[in-house]
Amino acid sequence: MRLIPRSCRLVALVALAVVGAAPAWSQGAAPPGELYTSARDCARCHQTIHTYWSESEHARSATSPTYLATLEAAIEKAPDKDLARRNCVWCHAPTAIATGDFSLQRAITKEGVSCDFCHTVAGVDLARSDHPFDLAPGNVKRGPLEYARSSAHGTQYSTLHRSSALLCASCHEYKNAAGAAVLSTFDEWAAGPYAKNGQTCQECHMPAVPGADVSGGLDPARRQINLHRLVGGSVASRVRGGLDLRFESVAVGASTADVRVAVANSGVGHSVPGGLSTKSLVLAVGVDTGSGELVQRRERVYRREMKDADGHALTTVAELFQRAASVGSDTRLKQKESRIESFTVPLPDDWKAIVARLEYRDDSDPRAPKTTLVAEQRRERGR
């Protein structure tokens, strides 16, 4: 992969912005010598949106300890360290594409996927070989409001922001140098029922919530904003909303129970779990004896496994990006898919309930794997 830090097109746009900047716009403008404005500056007026964004993974994408540790590991082993760094930084700290700050020194770079980056993207072309963006940093902020007017900065209505999955695909769809689809969220979505109905990423991940788009609410009719927290699998309630878990049948015998559990991806717009294949969904069935622990635990694991050119399974994020050559297996739940899983569970004498659980497991940070309980169903003894 090749990265050109500064395209001719970008330079031309910046030059125009400098020459054409009206003094009235200068409030929302980048400081002298900077291409992008800090989220802190946007917060002066877009306070509520800023609060949500600052709780998002996007705000932490360039500074999370997991990311920084993985980045170092990825660079360490690479033959061309500069290239390896760029290949890991352009999505996590995308302002670096234009500023060239791939070593994450500047404050704006550390803001990760920041306001001014997203709102100055003018187009996305996934077929491009370096990065997919048409960048237009400057005073004109592009967004979903057709009649926005601001004395702080120029505004432009943008269907890319309002209703196109391409804006998100730019970073959530990725083939590495070997052509392996390390991230395939967009392709999965595009092949399924939600895309056909015109339900884009924004509709589920940025739903309208109460709030003023500008502090003090200039226009009382605009009492709703699009949620900028963009939660995904790391938040249990979000995942629960997209998945169903129930007992299909429970047949209790003398010393065992035959249990059939139905699990469904009823509301996730892509395969679940989405994103990197360091994530998995686990269906666990077992017995509660009152200790709180699940005993006689049995599992089904739903995940996508990527392999290197020699067919070895890859487990770390850096390996996935740098060495993946093919998809080994994919047992994830596709959109609207439901499955019935059967288990035979031995019953200890003191059993109190048969329990089915859905757990979301994230092994992106091997030093601190995370497991979140998504849903639980219980069948009490004697019922």
Please tell me whether the peptide bond between 65 and the residue prior to it is cis, using omega within 30 degrees of 0. no
By CB under 6 A, the residues from 241 to 270 that bind ligand HEC are 241-242, 267-270
Among 25, 102, 186, 343, binds ligand HEC (CB under 6 A): 186
Under the binding rule (CB under 6 A), the answer on residue 63 touching ligand HEC is no
Under the binding rule (CB under 6 A), the answer on residue 98 touching ligand HEC is no
Stretch that binds ligand HEC, among 3-11, 61-69, 290-298, 342-350 (CB under 6 A): 61-69
Among 7, 150, 266, 331, binds ligand HEC (CB under 6 A): 150
Tokens coding 51? 């609060």
Q: Closest separation between CB of residue 339 and ligand HEC, Å?
A: 16
> What character string, x for contact with ligand HEC (CB under 6 A) and - otherwise, covers 284-313?
------------------------------
Under the binding rule (CB under 6 A), the answer on residue 93 touching ligand HEC is no
Q: Residue 31 and residue 24: Cα distance in Å, rounded?
A: 15
Among 95, 136, 184, 194, binds ligand HEC (CB under 6 A): 194
Alpha-carbon separation of residue 221 from 206, 213, 225 (angstroms): 19, 11, 11
Under the binding rule (CB under 6 A), the answer on residue 92 touching ligand HEC is yes
Distance separating the N- and C-terminal Cα atoms of the chain? 60
Identify the three-state secondary structure at position 45.
Answer: coil
Q: Closest separation between CB of residue 183 and ligand HEC, Å?
A: 6
Residue 27 phi/psi, 5-degree rounding, is -60, -45
Under the binding rule (CB under 6 A), the answer on residue 357 touching ligand HEC is no
Under the binding rule (CB under 6 A), the answer on residue 45 touching ligand HEC is yes
Q: Are 113 and 59 in contact (CB under 8 A)?
A: yes
* Residue 357 burial (10 A CB sphere; 0-12, 13-18, 19+): buried
Q: Residue 240 and residue 267: Cα distance in Å, rounded?
A: 9
Tokens coding 80? 């061309």
* Residue 11 burial (10 A CB sphere; 0-12, 13-18, 19+): exposed
Under the binding rule (CB under 6 A), the answer on residue 187 touching ligand HEC is no
Q: Closest separation between CB of residue 91 and ligand HEC, Å?
A: 3
By CB under 6 A, the residues from 110 to 129 that bind ligand HEC are 113-116, 118-119
What is the largest distance, in Å, between two alpha-carbon atoms of the chain?
84
Under the binding rule (CB under 6 A), the answer on residue 174 touching ligand HEC is yes
Among 49, 98, 285, 287, binds ligand HEC (CB under 6 A): 49
Under the binding rule (CB under 6 A), the answer on residue 363 touching ligand HEC is no
Number of H helices, E strands in the chain: 16, 17
